Amino acid sequence: MNPNGYSKLIEPGDFIIKKDRRTGEDRKVFADRSLGFFWMIKDLKDSKNKPILSNETAIPAQDAKLFPSLNDVSTLTGEKVDTPSFFTRNNRTKDATAQCTLVAVSFKDFGFKLLPSWVVPFEKAFIPDSSPATIGRAEVIHLSITEGRLQSYLSGFITSGVRKNTPEEKHSRTLLYFGDKTEWRDTLRMHNTLTGYVFLLDGMGRVRWAGSGSATENELNTLTSIAKELTPLLDPSIAKQQVQKQKSHVKRRPPRPK
């Protein structure tokens, strides 16, 4: 968490732990009440839109947690899916190094507009790739969370607008969820819903890297490096060796008997 922001103080359930002046005991106070209704705006100002600071190395596999479960999510094609199973749907071998997925999460329009700073360079680096060894090894998923009872009633209207403004080739990889998910957000420390967040998952759906706000050049270099670390075939030199190995294997294969 960013030491300059408020998010580091927030406990699961959007609570702040404060000392009771009379009893001296710790008590839970809602963040909005303790920090003020506009705390998220000040948090973004103090943290430069980055409540979460990206890690410089990949989270070790043994310490990494699965992307939290989110059910009844809809794609722009109308399909109902669940996470994290949707992110690993193409990994039939269940190999952690077979693929990696960049999940871009937003709650508000401001956060959504920050995500291309991560997504566009990632797609340029890995998607599409003409090499047979790397096709399908990396994927970008957009996840839009719309909280609030009123917004849920307007889900059809909101979905229609998003579909209209999203390229058709990305409809199957754009997910929408309507409803409050405070506990789900807590798991990923997404307390501030004004900004955007990105999470890099390995082939098993485990979160190995995270970032927020607008991407810096250094963060993009780290993201690209970790993606290659998690999925070695994304490295052009390794992918080339793999293709040559496959071609060599085909050449050495004995002819079929007549």
Query: Could you write out the DSSP letters of every residue in 139-156?
Result: EEEEEEEE-SHHHHHTHH
Query: Quick check: helix, strand or coil at residue 11?
Result: strand
What is the H or E stretch that residue 178 is in? strand 174-178
What's the pTM value of the predicted model, to 2 decimals? 0.86
Sign of CA dihedral 205, 211, 216, 218: negative
Query: Cα-Cα-Cα-Cα dihedral of 98, 138, 145, 196, to 10°?
Result: 120
What phi and psi values does residue 8 have, to the nearest 5 degrees?
-65, -20
Per-residue pLDDT of the chain (258 residues; tens, 9 = 90+): 889 888 888 887 777 888 777 787 888 887 888 888 898 999 999 999 999 999 999 999 999 999 999 999 999 999 999 999 999 998 988 899 999 999 999 999 999 999 999 999 999 988 765 555 556 789 999 999 998 777 767 888 889 999 999 999 999 999 999 988 888 988 999 999 999 999 999 999 999 999 999 999 999 999 999 999 999 988 766 755 554 554 555 455 556 655
